[in-house]
Amino acid sequence: MKKLTFYNYIALGIVIIFLSLLFAGGVRAEQPAGSFYLGVGHHSGTYSEDGFPDVDFTGPKFEAGVYLVEDHLALEINYLVAQGNYWIIDFTGEALSLFLKPELPFAEGKGRVFGLVGFTKLSLIAKVFGYSVSMDEDSLSYGVGVELSPAENLRLGVEGIVYANEIDWDYSGVNFTINILF
C-alpha cells in the first residue's frame, strides 16, 4: 500500500471541504478587525533528512489569532507537540509559530482559502536506551489551507505547512483544525 504524502493529505482535505460546501449549508461569518479566534486540531507531520528514513509525527495543535484587516488578514500563533518513533528510537517535537494569514472568502463567506507565512521555532528530540539528542531550529515557515464555516462562529479547516526547509532536512505537516470565533 502506497503511503500518503504531504500533498495527498492537502488534496484530500480540500476535496472534503469543497464537497461539504456543496452538500451542507453554511453561514456567512464576517470578522471585523480586532476580533479573534481560538482553535485546536490534529497535527500529522513528517521529518525528512537526506540519507535517513522519514519519521512520522502526530499530536495536538493549538492556535489563536486576531484579525488585523476585516475578513482578509489575521495574525496567528500556533503551538504543537508531536511524537513519533522509528524502530527503537522515540522522537518528540515541538513547534511554536507566528504567521501572517491572508484570507480570501468564497461561497458567500461559507468558506475561505488562506495562506500562511511566518517563522517557527522547532525543537526535536530523539531518545534511545536513555540517551537523547536534541536539535533546535528557527526557520521561515509557509503554508496554505481551506476553512469551512458550518455555523456562524465555527470554522473547520485543513492546512499544509512547511515548518522548516533546510538544506539537508525538512519538517512539514498537515493539520485538521476547529476554530471558535469571538
| CA–CA separation, 37 and 154 (whole Å) | 9
**Residue 42 forms part of a structural domain:** yes
Q: Is the per-residue pLDDT at 82 higher than 90?
A: yes
Q: What is the mean pLDDT of the chain?
A: 87
* CA distances from residue 82 to 30, 62, 69, 124, 151 in whole angstroms, order as listed: 33, 12, 32, 9, 30
Query: Given a cut of 80, is residue 175 above it in pLDDT?
Result: yes
**Residue 143 pLDDT more than 90?**
yes
Mean pLDDT of 39-65: 95
In the chain, how long is the greatest CA-to-CA distance?
56
Does any domain span residue 68? yes
| Each residue's pLDDT tens digit, 88-108 | 999 999 999 999 999 998 888
The domain in which residue 54 lies consists of 6-25+37-181
Residue 96 belongs to domain with CATH number: 2.40.160.20
The cell for 182 is 469571538
Say which residues have a Cβ less than 8 Å from residue 51's Cβ, sequence separation at least 6: none
Q: How many domains does the chain have?
A: 1
Mean pLDDT for 123-136 is 93
Q: What confidence category does residue 25 fall into, taking pLDDT thresholds of 50, 70 and 90?
A: very low
In angstroms, rounded to a whole number, what is the distance separating the alpha carbons of residues 84 and 68?
A: 36
**Is 94 inside a domain boundary?**
yes
